[in-house]
Amino acid sequence: MFASVPASQRNQIVQAALNGGVNWFDTAELYGWGRSERGLAEALTQAGKTNAEVRIATKWNPMLRTARPITRTIRTRQTNLEGYTIDLYQIHAPVSFATRRSEMNAMADLVDSGQIGAIGVSNFNARQMRRAHEILHSRGMRLAANQVRYNLADRRIESNGILDTAKELGITIIAYSPLFMGLLSGKFHSDPQSFDRLPIIRRRMLHRRFGQSGELVNALEQIARAHGTTAAQVALNWLINAHGDTVVAIPGASTVSQAKENAEAMRFTLTDQEAVQIDALSREIV
């Protein structure tokens, strides 16, 4: 998110991602109230990247707002991004004071005026996705994406209608927290004391799945050794390939090494047996 990362480190992280072939970056108004957007633009400029070479997604903060600020605040998003095009603009959550129609119409107006490329949402359930899609369809447009939590330790979108609706309507699922806050990297299982040192809110979020995911993490590490890679890369590789083109992932990075590791997650192919094993062990986590 870059809002709290020092500029020199942020620039190195973005450069490492670019070097690894990454050209799509996700940010949001809410991340540092614009600092993340400005930091991303600065890092891309520092790397010498032109607008045509990258794709930018950002999000409008809907909390305690009507739909009117969607069109009023787009100038701020553009200023923060310093000329880089907003290729995907997303409603950050279904929590505004606005009706779904007014939100989607405001977003559609931005597409019509050429100020954004496509429309997305975040944290929308299946019914909300479908409604947003219907409204945009009436304007001759489509809902491009829904950004939701999805990973091997949290597969709820497979059973609550979100993934099925996305496949039916051709909506891309953008999986955030694809490593479940580091749980699937194996770092907490190899050093349980590091889990105990986590902030209490994060520890509570991870606690149940930490206890259930040991066998899965062992399998990820075993498969990683066979491919000369890491457990985190295996988890990302499975997630991105499990549903064809429907799911993409946005792993975060707070260090250069993490950015490099994320970028290399697609440079190997899991065997059918490995994919089936990961799937089966993951389904035991509830």
What's residue 6's pLDDT? 84
Task: Tell me whether residue 239 is in a domain.
Answer: yes
Percent of the chain past pLDDT 90, that is, above it, reads 91
Residue 171's domain comprises: 7-182+233-267
pLDDT (tens digit per residue) in 189-217: 999 888 889 999 999 889 899 999 999 99
What's residue 286's pLDDT? 79
What's residue 259's pLDDT? 96
Q: How far apart are CA 279 and CA 276, in angstroms?
A: 5
Task: Report which DSSP code applies to 266.
Answer: T
List residues bridging with 217 in a β-sheet. Answer: none
Joined tokens for residue 265: 């997650």
What's residue 262's pLDDT? 96
Residues with Cβ within 8 Å of 133's Cβ and at least 6 positions away in sequence, in order, are: 142, 143, 169, 171
Joined tokens for residue 130: 């479908």
Task: Tell me whether residue 191 is in a domain.
Answer: no
We report the CATH number of the domain holding residue 155 as 3.20.20.100
Is residue 31 part of the annotated active site? The answer reads yes
Three-state helix/strand/coil letters over 162-216 = HHHHHHHHCCEEEEECCCCCCHHHCHHHHCHHHHHCCCHHHHHHHHHHHHHCHHH
What's residue 181's pLDDT? 93
What mean pLDDT value characterizes the chain?
A: 96
Q: How far apart are CA 282 and CA 155, in angstroms?
A: 8
What's residue 177's pLDDT? 97
Set 31, 84, 89, 150: catalytic member: 31
Task: Tell me whether residue 199 is in a domain.
Answer: no
Task: Tell me whether residue 87 is in a domain.
Answer: yes
Task: Tell me whether residue 79 is in a domain.
Answer: yes
What's residue 185's pLDDT? 95
What's residue 5's pLDDT? 77
What's residue 43's pLDDT? 97
- Dump the DSSP string for the chain: --TTS-HHHHHHHHHHHHHTT--EEE--TTTTTTHHHHHHHHHHHHTT--GGG-EEEEEE--TT--SHHHHHSHHHHHHHTTT--EEEEEE--S-SSS-HHHHHHHHHHHHHTTSEEEEEEES--HHHHHHHHHHHHHTT--EEEEEEE-BTTB-GGGTSSHHHHHHHHTPEEEEESTTTTTGGGTHHHH-HHHHHTS-HHHHHHHHHHHHH-HHHHHHHHHHHHHHTS-HHHHHHHHHHHTTTTSEEE----SSHHHHHHHHTTTSS---HHHHHHHHHHHTT--
In the block, residue with structure tokens 């400029």: 45
Task: Tell me whether residue 286 is in a domain.
Answer: no
What's residue 1's pLDDT? 54
Joined tokens for residue 214: 């040991």
For the chain, the domain total comes to 1
Task: Tell me whether residue 212 is in a domain.
Answer: no
Residues of the chain with pLDDT under 50: none
pLDDT (tens digit per residue) in 44-60: 999 999 999 999 999 99
Q: At what angle do helices 256-263 and 7-19 cross, to 10 degrees?
A: 20
Q: How many Cα atoms are found within 13 Å in the side-chain-facing hemisphere of 95?
A: 9
What's residue 4's pLDDT? 67
Task: Tell me whether residue 188 is in a domain.
Answer: no
